[in-house]
Amino acid sequence: MNQSRRVVITGMGVVTSLGDQLDQFWSGLCAGRSGVGPLTLFDVSEFKVRFGGQVNDWDAAARFGGKEARHLDRFAQFAMAAAISAVEDSGVDFSRFRPDRCGVFIGSGIGGLNEFETQHTTMMQKGPSRISPFTIPKLMVNAASGQVSIKFGLQGPCSAVATACASAANAMGDAYKMIQTGWADLMITGGSEAAITHMGLGGFASMRALSTRNDDPPRASRPFDRDRDGFVLAEGAGVLVFELEDQARARGARIYAEVIGYGMSADGWHITAPDEEGRGAARAMVRCLEDARTAPDAVQYINAHGTSTPLGDLAETRAMKQVFQGHARKLQISSTKSQLGHLLGASGGVELIASALAIHRGVLPPTINLDNPGEGCDLDYIPLTAREAQVDHVMSNSFGFGGHNASLLIRRYK
């Protein structure tokens, strides 16, 4: 492994229920605000779950023009908006880069579900000849990566990872490796999701995976709390610019943090339930630390997967105890999903952004709604209020249906 090629984060962009500006997103997180509320994207009155973390006032035509907006599914619109923000934030001028040295890895759990449903309805009502020619290019899970590569004219590695709720984390881990091993010098990477649709909401609700706290949506996502009853479906995107450190330094870029480790594993256990002992999650964290050549006790903050499901939060806590042993009690941990809900394949992207900002701005966002820790959830989850702290090593965990586990480690850039 070529350890001399360091990888740094130079740009970040978000689309979330707490806003699409980085400062707005971060101040919302640190203030402990919830982006969860009643769903209004379509009529949800027949659904068992009627709330979530939706992106409000989304006007794609105003952002992209009518034609481009029509040719992007909502998930690709989010990815495109976050990618444009991240590139602007990085200050990169692609005309000064070799296009074949720049690439895009944007993950999504499901892809263009809105388009799939819309066209299916059209087909059932009007017949197969009325199916739009843009159906497939809009719904495919790689549409976000493909469209972003076209937008910026990037010609290097370009792919899409689909590992459910670990999609963004796997995409970013793979992107990090692309730069580290010399395939590319810059990668636009992260995740995007827009699965608050009839089928998305109904499907997750049918699994009994979602919180049913319809009477109090902002309090529904409560990772590690005694009264947690499932995750909260949310949508959005988190996209970052990963860059070769030499190049970033040479152009005087602002560097948020350095990416130093990536680990992945499979539970090999069950298609949706986590290994109850958290063995798969623990393997991902251990691999990540090994990849980073970093001792467990160097880690100060973990942005947990923490979805607010009864099994998941307990399994992750057990995994952290296995990996960090006595140091687990000193870890500061929080779940950004307590505020945003679960962005599925985009969650790892917004959470790595939160992790990088924690280092860069010296504040650890809280786990809101953690009023009474659940049984076995006995670590420091930064309950209710943000905490000022200088942290140098931060881990971000993402786990997905299918039994996918991914962990990333970043550190303060020096």
Partner 1 sequence: MSVEERVIEIVCEQMDVPKDQVTRDTHFTNDLHADSLDTVELVLEFEEEFDITIPDDESEKIQTVGQAIDYIEQHSHAKSDKDDAVA
Catalytic residues, by residue number, are: 165, 305, 342
The total of other beta-carbon atoms located within 10 Å of residue 45's CB is 6
Identity of the residue, 65 or 376, whose beta carbon is nearer to partner 1 in the bound complex = 65
User: Could you tell me the smallest distance in angstroms from the CB atom of residue 132 to partner 1?
Assistant: 6
User: Quick one: CA dihedral 338, 403, 333, 229, positive or negative?
Assistant: positive
Which among 216, 209, 202 has a CA at the least distance from the CA of 232? 209
The upper half-sphere exposure of residue 129, i.e. CA atoms within 13 Å in the direction of its Cβ, equals 0
Q: Does 124 bind partner 1 (CB under 8 A)?
A: no
Contact residues for 263 (Cβ-Cβ < 8 A; gap 6+):
173, 283, 284, 285, 286, 287, 288, 289, 290, 291, 405, 406, 407
Structure tokens at 270: 């069950």
Number of residues that bind partner 1 (CB under 8 A): 10
Q: Does 112 bind partner 1 (CB under 8 A)?
A: no
Span near partner 1 by CB under 8 A; candidates 77-85, 127-135, 155-163, 368-376: 127-135
User: Could you tell me the smallest distance in angstroms from the CB atom of residue 160 to partner 1?
Assistant: 20
DSSP three-state, residue 12: strand
Identity of the residue, 38 or 66, whose beta carbon is nearer to partner 1 in the bound complex = 66
CA–CA gap between residue 404 and residue 270 (Å, rounded): 10
Identity of the residue, 130 or 361, whose beta carbon is nearer to partner 1 in the bound complex = 130
Q: Exactly one of 134, 152, 183, 269 binds partner 1 (CB under 8 A); which one?
A: 134
Q: Exactly one of 48, 130, 330, 361 binds partner 1 (CB under 8 A); which one?
A: 130
> What single-letter DSSP state applies at residue 141?
T
User: Could you tell me the smallest distance in angstroms from the CB atom of residue 61 to partner 1?
Assistant: 9
Q: Exactly one of 4, 45, 125, 129 binds partner 1 (CB under 8 A); which one?
A: 129
Q: Does 132 bind partner 1 (CB under 8 A)?
A: yes
Q: Please report, for residues 38, 44, 47, 211, 301, the alpha-carbon distance to residue 52 in angstroms, rounded to integers and kept in the order given.
A: 6, 11, 12, 9, 27
Interface with partner 1 in residues 38-97 (CB under 8 A): 65-68
User: Could you tell me the smallest distance in angstroms from the CB atom of residue 392 to partner 1?
Assistant: 49
User: Could you tell me the smallest distance in angstroms from the CB atom of residue 64 to partner 1?
Assistant: 10
In the complex, the residues that contact partner 1 under the rule CB under 8 A are: 65-68, 129-130, 132-134, 137
